[in-house]
Structure 1
Amino acid sequence: MAEKEKTGNAFVETVKTIVYALLIAGVFRTLFFQPFWIPSGSMKETLLIGDFLFVNKMAYGYSYASCPSLMLPRFGIEIDAMDVCGVFDGDNTRLFGSEPERGDVVVFRHPVSGRDYIKRLIGLPGDTIQVKAGVLNINGTPVELRDDGTFEEEMTAQGPQRLRPRCENGPVGEGGTCIKSRQIETLPNGVSHAILNIGDQQSDRTGVYTVPEGHYFFMGDNRDNSADSRLAQQAGGVGFVPYENLIGRADRIMFSSAGRSMLFFWTWRGDRFFKAVK
């Protein structure tokens, strides 16, 4: 009898340990840092497909969007932050909130789909944003641009989704070199970063966007391959993003893998481990 009691107690203790560990992990992820894999090439070359980073949730304070989501459609699991913390949605405010800065690389919840996106913050509340002939204009003034050579990558399937890059040098065969023009863009507050261009397209010529109060305007660094605030939410873009939808700031890449799985060690990009996001 004593043997059965010991076995039962050991099982209960194991379950309690697992539950406590999950609770601690949940609290840590909700309050401090959230893991994020880069699934697409919209932020190249700043962020590559397969980069893994932790999002600093303390940077902007907390809202309903700070609650973690669990999206595993393959297994029929789609738990969004709204399902858990939706009671805090609706006032577009944050607890311990602080304002993001222009040029920050930010993870946020898509206002309609609820999916997590990562883009660069370009427009602040009250700003006017327009793209003219591929040049970003903020409040009527073109940003400083400097040509900086090219960005080159192999034409091959990338990441778990097996996405293939778009190239400025036309159709490129498997294993060939895909080239994009690179420029250094400097925002009004002095933040400089690389942007990539593929060719002339509609997103290089936009109307004037006036960012509403309490909202932000985001763009991808891979300018011709990014569904961002230049497109309305109903057209597949993200439109203006409310303050409460910000999740956190991307500060540093922790790990990077060019293959389908992080277990394929021969595809690891050691030169990107612990690299700062600028």
Structure 2
Amino acid sequence: MATEEKKSGGIVETIKTIVYALLIAGVFRTFLFQPFWIPSGSMKDTLLIGDFLFVNKMAYGYSYASCPSIIAPRFGLNIDAKDICGIFDGDNKRLFGSEPERGDVVVFRHPVSGRDFIKRLIGLPGDKIQVRDGVLSINGTPVQVEPDGVFEEVAEAQGPQRLRPRCENGPVGDGGTCNKSKFIETLPGGVSHSILNIDDQGSDHTSVYVVPEGHYFFMGDNRDNSLDSRVSNLSGGVGFVPFENLIGRADRVMFSSAGRSMLFFWTWRSDRFFKAVD
């Protein structure tokens, strides 16, 4: 009898430990840092497919978007942040809110799909944004752009989704060198960062976007391979992003793997471990 009671008590303690661990992990993920894998190449070469980082949720305060979404199609899970914290949605405000700064690399919820995106903040409320002949213009003034050589990568399927890179020198066969022109762009306020160019296309010649109050304008650093605020969120792009949809700021890459799985240690990019996000 004593043995059965002891066994029953052990099971209860184990369940308690698991519940407490889940609660602690939930609080950590909701209020402090959220893990994020880079799934696509829209932010190359600042962020590469397979980079793993923690998003600083304290940077901009908290809103309904701070609650985690739990999406695991393999297990039939699709719990949206609005399902958990939807009561706080709709006022475009934040608790302990801080304004983001131009040039921040931000994770945010897509205004329509609710999926997490990561892009660079380009336009603040009231700004007039335009791209003319591939050069970003903010409030009528072109930003400073300087050539910075060539970004090279292997022309092969990348990451779990097996995405192939677009190449300026394409088409390039498997295993060949895929090139993109690289530039250093300096935004108003002094933030400088790398951008890539692949081709002359429609997104290099846009109309003027006027950013509404309480919203932000985002672009990918891989300018010709990014669905961002240059395209309406009803047409597959991002459009203008409400303040309450910001999740947090990406500050540092913690880990990086070039393979299909983080378990393939021979594909780890050790030179990107703990790399600051500029």
Calculate the TM-score normalised by the size of structure 1. 0.99
Q: Secondary structure at the match of 2:119?
A: strand
> Given residue 256 of structure 1, which amino acid in structure 2 is its aligned partner?
S
Structure 1 residue 74: Cα displacement: 2.6
Alignment match, 1:53: 53
Alignment match, 2:130: 130
Alignment match, 1:179: 179
Structure 1 residue 51: Cα displacement: 0.1
CA distance in 1, matches of 2:197, 2:254: 27
Which 4+ residue blocks in structure 1 deviate beyond 4 angstroms?
none
Task: List aligned pairs for 1:233-244, cutoff 5 A.
Answer: 233-244=233-244
CA distance in 2, matches of 1:70, 1:41: 23
Q: Secondary structure at the match of 2:234?
A: helix
> Given residue 84 of structure 2, which amino acid in structure 1 is its aligned partner?
V
CA distance in 1, matches of 2:191, 2:73: 38
Q: Secondary structure at the match of 2:15?
A: helix
Query: Are positions 1:18 and 2:18 aligned together?
Result: yes
Aligned Cα root-mean-square deviation (Å): 0.5
Q: Secondary structure at the match of 2:137?
A: strand
CA distance in 1, matches of 2:19, 2:74: 25
Q: Secondary structure at the match of 1:151?
A: strand
Identity of aligned residues (%): 81
CA distance in 1, matches of 2:151, 2:14: 51
CA distance in 2, matches of 1:210, 1:75: 42
Alignment match, 1:75: 75
Post-superposition CA distance 1:201-236 (Å, at most 9, x none)? 000000000000000000000000000000001111
Post-superposition CA distance 1:94-153 (Å, at most 9, x none)? 000000000000000000000000000000000000000000000000000001111000
Alignment match, 2:197: 197
CA distance in 2, matches of 1:41, 1:75: 27
Post-superposition CA distance 1:15-67 (Å, at most 9, x none)? 01000000000001100000000000000000000000000000000000000
Structure 1 residue 71: Cα displacement: 1.1
Q: Secondary structure at the match of 1:227?
A: coil
Query: Are positions 1:97 and 2:97 aligned together?
Result: yes
Structure 1 residue 75: Cα displacement: 2.3
Alignment match, 1:224: 224
Alignment match, 1:63: 63
Post-superposition CA distance 1:67-112 (Å, at most 9, x none)? 0111112322111111100000000000000000000000000000
Alignment match, 1:141: 141
Q: Secondary structure at the match of 1:9?
A: helix
Q: Secondary structure at the match of 1:97?
A: coil
CA distance in 1, matches of 2:79, 2:113: 12
Structure 1 residue 191: Cα displacement: 0.2
Alignment match, 2:210: 210
CA distance in 2, matches of 1:193, 1:7: 59
Q: Secondary structure at the match of 1:149?
A: strand
Alignment match, 1:261: 261
Q: Show structure 2 runs of 5+ residues with no match.
A: none
> Given residue 54 of structure 2, which amino acid in structure 1 is its aligned partner?
F
**Count of residue correspondences:** 278
Q: Show structure 1 runs of 5+ residues with no match.
A: none
Calculate the TM-score normalised by the size of structure 2. 0.99
CA distance in 1, matches of 2:179, 2:83: 43
> Given residue 120 of structure 2, which amino acid in structure 1 is its aligned partner?
R
